[in-house]
Structure 1
């Protein structure tokens, strides 16, 4: 009897340990003199598990006694979560503390409404259909024609973006009239019926320009493509309620007399129209990004340190690309950290920011004049860009503490 009691106690202790929940405090501080809403907070999982050492399988974020949407992401695809992401609202100079519960099992998992989405589709020549895929590679560096909408794409409820799978790797735009997810319905190419129902569409003709925030090489006079490479990879890392992530890798890029391994991680958050771009390289380089000036008519903004923007009406699309599409009025902008900024310049088709470094992060944003309740003129868009750039230059401060 005594032996059975000991065994039962041991079993109960194991059950308790399996479902044990640790609580971590995370303080978040807004250094700005303006309010910031839907601010992304990203916490490395290694910090959340530093006290217990246990693997983090699920988490719950509590702000003001209420659980908010959160997301655990496995960025390196090794089966373990690397980052916890969630959004908060902060008043000027406000400092808040949130509770993060973590567990080594799925007991804290909760399904939240999908507010972002990522996708990539490969064309099947035999069945003449498209099939979903999460990773594609090419030693020629070109799968442009083999992939539906020519590369990976992702969206929030405000905007959608795609990345061309070729040497240009251009960031292209899909505008939304209504704030909702649409790519699973339209797959970038809405039908006439969907257009009549208020769906968005491809709104930019990028040609060989920087489009909206495309990362490019720099030859001293103009932006250059990421070519030649030994291999190019496109990847959907995650599609989730808080954020979606896609990656483009260029291995063996012959650039400035060096062989560069370049990774670009693109992140779009719920309730955001902008994108975060993380750049990782094996060697430091001089690169550039910017916005195209390829418009019939446009107004430029260059008076914000670390940012460039343009508001313009695009040129007529070629009939072979999309016979239904007409020139659209759009806003494009890029913000880069001042520590990475070398200088502002331009070439024939782009306003550019030259960047120096190895690993750095910059941001892209955009708008469409037909968005309901959106920006209707250049002044409104440029005012938004200046505030957005100021917020990015003064990021929130995140500190992890333990009970």
Structure 2
């Protein structure tokens, strides 16, 4: 009997492991049915020729993309129901699809870091991941995860040139996404990350997370709905928090690796559909 139970448990675990409720998307607009694993540019700007302006990934609750240009921000695709949509919607679902319960691009990034985007700090100011000698985007789906990477090479930084790799990973069964920034250099760098916000947003800035809730001035979606977003981090990794008109920035200690977690929700969801519910969720996640 014990052997039978063990076999059943192993079988169930194998089924669970085989389920990957994540996906990736990377393609050129001129050939939107040909999905790619990697694209590169010596100019570092494929914003206008790539579908959804860069690489994209998703899990059941959220989609994320990294803009393939000097902004290199992380943007959010919000969903109203659980499921995978990016490959069918290609980030911009039709009016009919949105009215039938699909998600949409409700989040507005502008020139900010977006949600958890990466830049550098030279001791006095923010340094964008630009100019570069080459920029490469890559997407991978494996096991129960998907991730996208952007490698920006040859960035002028403190009298030298540095290569920075940014990776965003989504997980099956976990709403949050992990953001990692790697300095592929001999010397450590200071990273900058953060979260953007808009007028009227409710903002909570705590020692280990920053969260926002409110409307984004986005104009590509059928409706305007309130969006919650948050970045969770280890306060020991940072030396400075900068409050700007449209974003909160976090300046890291000198390092070669920086990690944070990002998450979002919206008012059309079944569970985390209010500021209070979203904040309670963030409070619990920040204790982990």
Shared fold (TM-score greater than 0.5)? yes
The answer to whether the Cα contact below 8 Å between 2:133 and 2:154 also exists between their aligned partners in 1 is yes
The answer to whether the Cα contact below 8 Å between 1:169 and 1:226 also exists between their aligned partners in 2 is yes
The answer to whether the Cα contact below 8 Å between 2:191 and 2:258 also exists between their aligned partners in 1 is no
Displacement after TM superposition at 1:272 (Å) = 1.9
Residue in 2 aligned with 1:258? Answer: 160
Given the alignment, which residue of 261, 266, 273 partners 1:375?
A: 273
Residue in 2 aligned with 1:278? Answer: 180
Given the alignment, which residue of 232, 237, 243 partners 1:340?
A: 237
Task: Give the length in aligned residue pairs.
Answer: 280
Q: Does 1:201 align with 2:201?
A: no
CA 234–307 in structure 1, closer or farther in 2 if over 3 Å, else same = same
Distance in structure 2 (CA, Å) of the matches to 1:195 and 1:69: 35
CA 63–364 in structure 1, closer or farther in 2 if over 3 Å, else same = farther
Distance in structure 2 (CA, Å) of the matches to 1:220 and 1:351: 17
* Greater fraction strand: 1
CA deviation vs aligned residue, 1:276-330 (integer Å, no higher than 9, x gap): 122211131112111102x231111112x2221111211253xxxx2x4443311
The answer to whether the Cα contact below 8 Å between 1:115 and 1:240 also exists between their aligned partners in 2 is no
Residue in 2 aligned with 1:131? Answer: 34
Residue in 2 aligned with 1:267? Answer: 169
What's the secondary structure of 2:29's corresponding residue? Answer: strand
Given the alignment, which residue of 276, 283, 287 partners 1:386?
A: 283
Distance in structure 2 (CA, Å) of the matches to 1:344 and 1:286: 13
Distance in structure 2 (CA, Å) of the matches to 1:344 and 1:208: 18
Residue in 1 aligned with 2:21? Answer: 115
Residue in 2 aligned with 1:68? Answer: 13
Residue in 2 aligned with 1:156? Answer: 59
Residue in 2 aligned with 1:291? Answer: 195
CA 70–364 in structure 1, closer or farther in 2 if over 3 Å, else same = farther
Given the alignment, which residue of 252, 256, 276 partners 1:355?
A: 252
Displacement after TM superposition at 1:381 (Å) = 1.6
The answer to whether the Cα contact below 8 Å between 1:117 and 1:154 also exists between their aligned partners in 2 is yes
Distance in structure 1 (CA, Å) of the matches to 2:51 and 2:108: 17
* Greater fraction helix: 2
Report the RMSD for the aligned CA atoms in angstroms.
2.3
The answer to whether the Cα contact below 8 Å between 2:152 and 2:163 also exists between their aligned partners in 1 is yes
Displacement after TM superposition at 1:220 (Å) = 5.4
The answer to whether the Cα contact below 8 Å between 1:190 and 1:200 also exists between their aligned partners in 2 is yes
Given the alignment, which residue of 116, 125, 128 partners 1:213?
A: 116
Q: Structure 1: which 4+ aligned runs deviate by more than 6 Å?
A: none
> Please, what TM-score do these two structures have when normalized by structure 2?
0.89
Distance in structure 2 (CA, Å) of the matches to 1:189 and 1:328: 16
Given the alignment, which residue of 107, 127, 147 partners 2:50?
A: 147
Displacement after TM superposition at 1:174 (Å) = 0.8
CA deviation vs aligned residue, 1:161-192 (integer Å, no higher than 9, x gap): 11110011111111111101111211111112
